[in-house]
Structure 1
Amino acid sequence: MKKQYKIGQHIYRIPPCPAYDISGMENWLSDLAEEGWFLMQDGFFAGIATFEYGEPRTVKYRLEAAQRRSGILSDNDNEPDPEQVELSKKYSWEYVAKRKDFYIYRSFDPSARELNTDPEVQALALNAVKKRQGSALFSSVFFLLIYPVLLTRGCLLLSTISMGTWRMVLVLLLAALMIVDEVRAFVHLRMIQKSLTHNGCYNPKPDWRKNAAPYFIRKIIKTMLTVFLVFAFLQNWGMSVTNEKKIPIDEYSGTVPFATIRDFAGEGSSEYTLTMKGLNMGFNTIEEKSDWVAPRCIEYNEHATIKTFDGKNIAGGLYIDYCELRNPQLAKVLAREFYRLDKMKGVELTDTPDLQADYVISYFDHLHFPTVVIQKDNIVVKAYFFQPSENYTMPIEEWAKMICDSLGNGKS
């Protein structure tokens, strides 16, 4: 049984085609009018169309290219020239609404002449929309592809590990879908413009139902990806603010696979004491995570003092980024990204310690902390150890060698 509607009843619909699909939009609106649903005045908001029910009748809809860009949410900013609207009324065409870069007119008079009878004028008006679409395409490529690379200073693997491989894949997928949509829009507008110029018309009556399903699928996928990524970002941001994943060193029950300050002191050491405690600032913590490209990653920081067997007092803060990659090739890339990131902030190279590793570089970072980056097989470590003591400072050659020798040995 066919559903009955009341005169004046409203419904809301998401258009089954993009705004630049001129023929698709015109035929969709006309088909709804034959069912009794008429687009309301200023009936587009945030991509949703509002219709009012009335007696079914044949209505012609036409889209005209807008010379100015509309607002972000409202599709009805920058209304058409009042003189143009008045002139259209004389030929039985009324202005109804605006969707993105197009004004929507309609006529209830079957014998009404076409709204625009000069295809060259139509093509010229469409050129402004095409130029804006070209600018949008350029902006999308820059902000979705080029700018993130510049922002991360080209450290894509480091960014992937930090963000998570699956999140990075979803971000790239969303960026690709958005850019593809911009390309499709530009190409479609160009084809319409060429058709108007050479043939005097554009594709007259395409079946909008044919492309509705793919359009909705793309739209749903992009929406779901956006919502999911925003939720994941907020979740990660919340955990980083609250230090939820950080575990105090003295409460960690797992295996630390590298040398620490206690190991620097060697056998016979005594009076090991954690410092910087009680400040609730994430000192003396360890955070462990796993990712597809890096099955085990550890962020470690330790502030402590300890006395060696011969009475030397080692004191300072040790910060270590430890990553086990899936293969040595990825480890090689990550080690160089660690250094490149610091190099862009400013470093002072020092003599490289003679270590049994595939890659080693040492330097003072922008805070003048002695830093070493080590790649050993599929393991990468970036470590810096600052020592405020004026009585004794452990040379970088010594503590870097201890860290290097401990890698891959299953130290606990």
Structure 2
Amino acid sequence: MSDTVHRFLLVEPADMDRFEGWLEDMAHRGLHYRHSGFFFVHFRRGEPSSVRYRLEPMGSLWSRESQDYCRALGWDRLGQVGRDFELYRNPDPDAPELHTDPVVRACGLERVSKSMRFRSAVILLCLALYLVSAFLTLRPDDFWVERFVSGSALSLFPLALELLGIAAALRSFAAFFAIRRRLRRGVPSRRDGSWRWVAGSNIALLSLAGAVLLFSIWFFCASFTNDGWEGELDLVSEPYPILELRELEGEPSLETATSPTFLERFGYDAHNYVHCRRYPLLSEQYEVTQFLTDGGGYEPRLDMEWRRLSLPFLASPLLDELVYRYTEYNRFPDEYIVSELALPGFDRAVLAAGNRWPGQKLFLQAGNVVIYLDYSGTQDLTARPELLAALAQFDGR
């Protein structure tokens, strides 16, 4: 068995009293400090003993006289810890302290204090700039649920990780300044078991950061594993959900109204088209467009967005976003009459009827399925509830 034990850096050196208390408790358990890295502290197995550890600002005891004085008192220099400190060890619990006057020790921390104030200001400035840039591109009215289920909110996860890291750093800086203020008042350092609370909260932050990282990797993979397809309604062989516009109109003689521009320029009819996007860990989405004509002046149209979500609890918030996006968000509050309906087979149904021209917008939710229908014509979307119920029951086959 190796005589080296690795532990996460559970307490930041800036939290001086608790860091020293942590190392001393580890020595009581037979784990003696060897050296530290960015994330880990390495201990040597040995006999449990009452060892004392003390942090000193980098360079404060580098002179020959200072080193001779430390050795005379039994204090051995173990090396640098973090950016600002070096660590000293004394195996004799009764040996004199390196500092006996708290006020003098507080004065010796002045250079470290200036460095931490500067770093805190830089961190806060960078955070402010990051937040400003993030919300300039991702505004609060950007329909977050829809962005999420469509795989386009990946930029939120680095922000969450950065916020967690900043919270941990600022808390350790705050602990340092609290210690320094106490020393300046003449109150000596105290090394009790409070390091356990700090270590526990750091473990919670680390676990949360790990969960965010794993979730962001999952989300990234989900966003780029779209195995969708698309094509004209009369040509695709894949199954897809559809509310037949001819059946809704009740007029089989209506003909397909094609898109001459798209046919001429791109070679397909965009007026009667289906897009399928599948994000295996997020959602399955279909967009279906239908245009018909009676050969005269009547040309009904039906656009549909159909989504099956992998996270059912997002279905109702997504429906709310869609209602806002396609009614209130257009800044014409008198354009639609919006009302909640009770339709068989659906958990929620919201109808927006146009005031200025014939047409309706219908928003439906059944379990984890969310449907948006945009109809331009003279019929009533809610008059055929059996067609709507069948639409919600589409299972991909």
Match of 2:348 in 1: none
Find the residue that maps to 1:239 and give its secondary structure.
coil
Please provide the CA RMSD for this pair: 5.5
Does 2:45 align with 1:63?
A: no
Match of 2:43 in 1: 51
Match of residue 199, structure 1, among 177, 186, 205: 186
Return the offset for 1:12: 1.2
Alignment of 1:26-175 (within 5 A): 26-33=20-27, 37-40=31-34, 43-53=35-45, 59-64=51-56, 80-81=58-59, 84-86=61-63, 88-92=66-70, 93-99=76-82, 101-108=83-90, 110=92, 111=95, 113-114=97-98, 118-124=104-110, 125-133=112-120, 135-136=122-123, 139-140=126-127, 143=130, 148-155=134-141, 158-164=143-149
Q: Is the CA contact (8 Å cut-off) linking 1:137 and 1:182 kept in structure 2?
A: no
Provide structure 1 residue ranges, at least 5 long, that are not aligned to the other structure: 66-79, 344-348, 362-371, 384-398
Q: Is the CA contact (8 Å cut-off) linking 2:360 and 2:381 kept in structure 1?
A: no
Q: Deviations over 1:101-127 (max 9, x none)?
A: 442311347446516962332452334
Does 2:230 align with 1:230?
A: no
Return the offset for 1:229: 1.0
User: Which stretch of the first structure deviates more once superposed, 126-135 or 225-234?
Assistant: 126-135
Residue type of the alignment partner of 1:286: C
Return the offset for 1:207: 1.2
Match of 2:18 in 1: 24
CA 1:14/1:271 → structure 2, altered by over 3 Å: closer, same or farther? Answer: closer
What TM-score results when the alignment is normalised by the length of structure 2?
0.59
Residue type of the alignment partner of 1:196: L
Find the residue that maps to 2:225 and give its secondary structure.
helix
Alignment of 1:383-394 (within 5 A): none
Match of 1:386 in 2: none
Return the offset for 1:401: 4.3
Does 2:177 align with 1:185?
A: no
Provide structure 2 residue ranges, at least 5 long, that are not aligned to the other structure: 71-75, 309-313, 340-351, 392-397
Q: Is the CA contact (8 Å cut-off) linking 2:241 and 2:306 kept in structure 1?
A: no
Alignment of 1:2-17 (within 5 A): 9-17=3-11
1:205 and 1:130 map into 2 onto residues whose CA distance is: 24
CA 1:260/1:288 → structure 2, altered by over 3 Å: closer, same or farther? Answer: farther
Return the offset for 1:198: 1.7
User: Which stretch of the first structure deviates more once superposed, 25-34 or 207-216?
Assistant: 207-216
Alignment of 1:284-363 (within 5 A): 284-287=274-277, 298-302=285-289, 308-310=293-295, 321=305, 334-337=322-325, 357=338
Q: Is the CA contact (8 Å cut-off) linking 1:335 and 1:380 kept in structure 2?
A: no
2:296 and 2:170 map into 1 onto residues whose CA distance is: 70
Return the offset for 1:373: 10
CA 1:186/1:107 → structure 2, altered by over 3 Å: closer, same or farther? Answer: closer
Q: Is the CA contact (8 Å cut-off) linking 1:133 and 1:185 kept in structure 2?
A: no
CA 1:15/1:84 → structure 2, altered by over 3 Å: closer, same or farther? Answer: same
Find the residue that maps to 2:62 and give its secondary structure.
helix
Residue type of the alignment partner of 1:189: F
Residue type of the alignment partner of 1:195: R
Return the offset for 1:60: 3.2
Return the offset for 1:50: 1.8
1:49 and 1:194 map into 2 onto residues whose CA distance is: 28
1:352 and 1:199 map into 2 onto residues whose CA distance is: 66
What TM-score results when the alignment is normalised by the length of structure 1?
0.58
Return the offset for 1:340: 9.6
CA 1:308/1:284 → structure 2, altered by over 3 Å: closer, same or farther? Answer: same
1:90 and 1:248 map into 2 onto residues whose CA distance is: 86
Return the offset for 1:191: 1.9
2:118 and 2:109 map into 1 onto residues whose CA distance is: 12
1:377 and 1:271 map into 2 onto residues whose CA distance is: 26
Identity %: 13
1:224 and 1:90 map into 2 onto residues whose CA distance is: 45
